[in-house]
Amino acid sequence: MKSEGGRSRRDFVKQLGVAAGAAALPPAAIGATAMQLPAEATGGLHETPRSVFPTLNRRTRGWLNFLWEKATTDDDWGAHGMPHMWWDRYSSPVVLSYGRFDLSFSAYALLLMADQTPAWREAYTRIADGLTSRFPTYYGAIDWLTQIGDDPKRENYPPGVMSRIPEQLRGKYNRIGWTGNGVEPWGLQADPIGADGYLFFRGWFTLLLSTYQYISGDDKYTQPFPVTGYGDQVFEWDHHRIADHLEQQYLAHPEGPQCENTKIWFYCNSAGGLGMYLYDKVFGKQTHRAFENFLEYAAENYMSVSSDGKLDWITSYYDPIVDHKVNGGAGGAGLSTAFMVLPQQRELATTIYEAAATSLGWHNPQVPIRANATGLLMARALGDHTAIARLRAAAEREYEPRFFGDHDEKFGWFFGLNEAYPRGQRSATMMVSEVGNDGDWIRAFEVPHMDKFEAPTVEGVDFPSLGLYQAWNDTAGGALHVGTYPTTPENSGGETSWRVTNIPDANEVFILCDGEPFERFEITGANTVRLDTTVDTRHYQIFTGYRGPGGSPTARRDEPRNRGAAAALAAARPQSPGNAPTTRTASSELVTGDGPGCPCC
């Protein structure tokens, strides 16, 4: 090691680190011993120590423990198996009551968690792989593989279902949710990804694949993998080919591909577009330009905005075969669609959100409100603090948040359903509002931490015995901040070790633990050190000298620009092909209440 004036660079860093360590440390992490902060009476996990850098809060860590258990516990999604009961196949019956929606929704908060601790990815990668690998299976596509032809029960639908079908079509029209694989003019299509319809399968799958890629940096799904089709046929696809297929569909059909055969859902198409948007950001592609045609078409045909910029109605689905669409009013309809659209086109999504917030009284303290999960997600994404406070209080009152497990080490939302596990889709949706900061949902889709794959990284953590509440490279200070904790009391105090890789020069590393020099580490390679330590709540400052690519940080946490909601319909967009059908002359109905049987829309 080079020396100047009798002192090595490492000696200098030591002196500087000890002097500055206490000032740089989070207040709750100062001290020579592990900080054993009191846990809430209802839970075994300790509260997260405060820090100026991002952390995972207590509820998020509890949800992470549960996601790990779900994703890493073996079950069989094949034709002769059965998914574990904790995978949600119960919510929004006949529309979203399939396990693949639990897989998709569970990835939302996972994406945000990975951005909170970008220097630690292995647990998120394992979970994301468990979600993604279950998707292209028999139970992932069970509706497309079993609902063949027209619904044999459609002449005898109950009154509540029949009343939502145009009078002239009753008895000869399939309900929402019936996928109708095999109906004309398409015929039976065995491949659930290559089909003309079934957009809500490959659309959400693209979003899940893109999430996996951004979290992990692993090319596993860019290689061919099997997809279960009709009649036990197996088809080969990869991430790139699926994205290309979607791009070609939107170029040919700006009005959008169909989900169930004959029905085009604004919400499901928006999820597919978001998957394309994230795919482009990760791989440097431009497939989403084709989807912008759909957004233009939707603004003109699937919603109506008055001259003062307020939403009048928004379409849930459009059936181009019978030229009929179902619309919802401004009182909350389209919020889930807005959540998907938000990272893609903020102004359009904000128009929908503001209509709901006004109609439902979220900004008026004199108006009693009910909990609304998607409303809370939108409020947090847009930084609407008045709505956040009111909707969060309502959720705490109505949605039954609680810790569970042998040591209350897991967390979820139970919604008064008296079930053994948190209801998957609904709990996963609520967890997005628990992670990170306002605006993080929008920021995540700008992939702000692509440098993480070359930056110092924590690996080999014995999760779930030892958890990390923090793993953040402070490129201004050249230090990696790592916060550890025991996930359960029985794990506390045990010996453990973990590594830091991608260090510019391992010989120059100096480490503080809870503000004191830490010497129990070994250089195991030119760019790697191993820390031998214990399973405790501790805070480490690992001075690596990493200053970001080119010596400056790349991750930005500034607020995305907002041009104002009304600008959405006036913004310049790529022109759609002129052969797209218009829905302005279609028959329509305005549905009140919860919409056409799908609460999400």
User: Does position 98 have pLDDT exceeding 60, yes or no?
Assistant: yes
User: Does position 576 have pLDDT exceeding 70, yes or no?
Assistant: no
pLDDT reported for residue 564? 44
- Of 4-18, 91-105, 369-383, least confident by mean pLDDT is 4-18
Cα gap 281→414, rounded to integer Å: 35
Work out the angle at residue 429's Cα, subtended by the Cα atoms of residues 469 and 99, and round it to the nearest 5 degrees.
110
Q: Which two tokens stand for residue 88?
A: 């949600």
At residue 515 the predicted structure's pLDDT band, cuts being 50, 70 and 90, is very high
Percentage, residues of the chain above pLDDT 70: 85
- Of 111-120, 184-193, 506-515, 575-584, least confident by mean pLDDT is 575-584
User: Does position 201 have pLDDT exceeding 50, yes or no?
Assistant: yes
- Of 283-292, 419-428, 585-594, least confident by mean pLDDT is 585-594
pLDDT reported for residue 42? 42
Q: Which of 276, 274, 273, 296 is nearest to 286 (CA)?
A: 276
Positions of E strands within 203-323: 225-228, 234-237, 264-265, 303-305, 311-319
User: Does position 90 have pLDDT exceeding 80, yes or no?
Assistant: yes
Tokens 């004309």 belong to which residue? 184
Please answer whether residues 274 and 207 qualify as being in contact, where contact means their C-beta atoms are separated by less than 8 angstroms.
Answer: yes
Task: State phi, psi for 364 to the nearest 5 degrees.
Answer: -110, 105
Mean pLDDT of all residues belonging to the chain: 89
Q: Which of 268, 215, 239, 254 is nearest to 92 (CA)?
A: 268
- Of 278-287, 504-513, 564-573, least confident by mean pLDDT is 564-573
Cα gap 573→396, rounded to integer Å: 41
CATH T-level topology, domain 7-36+456-551:
Immunoglobulin-like (2.60.40)
pLDDT reported for residue 309? 84
pLDDT reported for residue 601? 55
pLDDT reported for residue 44? 78
List alpha helices for 330-412, DSSP H. 335-341, 346-359, 373-382, 385-398
CATH 2.60.40-classified regions of the chain: 7-36+456-551
pLDDT reported for residue 579? 61
* pLDDT tens string 392-441: 999 999 999 999 999 999 999 999 999 999 999 999 999 999 999 999 99
Please answer whether residues 585 and 362 qualify as being in contact, where contact means their C-beta atoms are separated by less than 8 angstroms.
Answer: no
User: Does position 29 have pLDDT exceeding 90, yes or no?
Assistant: no
Cis peptide before 464 (omega within 30 of 0): yes
Sign of CA dihedral 536, 542, 546, 552: positive
Q: Which two tokens stand for residue 44?
A: 């075994």
Length of the chain (residues): 601
| Angle at which helices 288-301 and 266-283 cross, to 10° | 150
Q: Which whole number is the average pLDDT over 92-106?
A: 94
Q: Which whole number is the average pLDDT over 254-258?
A: 97
pLDDT reported for residue 4? 37
Q: Which whole number is the average pLDDT over 12-18?
A: 43
User: Does position 24 have pLDDT exceeding 70, yes or no?
Assistant: no
User: Does position 587 have pLDDT exceeding 80, yes or no?
Assistant: no
CATH 1.50.10-classified regions of the chain: 58-448+558-591
Cα gap 342→349, rounded to integer Å: 5
Q: Which whole number is the average pLDDT over 200-225?
A: 98
Q: Which whole number is the average pLDDT over 324-334?
A: 90
HEC assignment per residue over 464-518: CCEEEEEEEEECCCCEEEEEEEECCHHHCCCEEEEEEECCCCHHHCEEEECCEEC
User: Does position 73 have pLDDT exceeding 80, yes or no?
Assistant: yes
Q: Which two tokens stand for residue 335?
A: 């919020």
Torsion of CA 38, 42, 45, 51, to 10 degrees: -60
User: Does position 32 have pLDDT exceeding 60, yes or no?
Assistant: no
| Angle at which helices 99-116 and 199-216 cross, to 10° | 30
- According to DSSP, the residues that pair with 481 across neighbouring strands are 472, 541
Q: Which whole number is the average pLDDT over 248-263?
A: 97
pLDDT reported for residue 578? 53
pLDDT reported for residue 94? 87
Q: Which two tokens stand for residue 267?
A: 């919400």
pLDDT reported for residue 553? 41
Q: Which whole number is the average pLDDT over 198-223?
A: 98
Please answer whether residues 67 and 107 qualify as being in contact, where contact means their C-beta atoms are separated by less than 8 angstroms.
Answer: no
Work out the angle at residue 187's Cα, subtended by the Cα atoms of residues 186 and 188, and round it to the nearest 5 degrees.
125
* pLDDT tens string 144-168: 999 999 999 999 999 999 998 999 9
CATH T-level topology, domain 58-448+558-591:
Glycosyltransferase (1.50.10)
Cα gap 223→539, rounded to integer Å: 39
pLDDT reported for residue 307? 87
* pLDDT tens string 534-572: 999 999 999 999 999 876 444 434 444 444 444 444 443
Please answer whether residues 102 and 424 qualify as being in contact, where contact means their C-beta atoms are separated by less than 8 angstroms.
Answer: yes
Cα gap 547→558, rounded to integer Å: 19
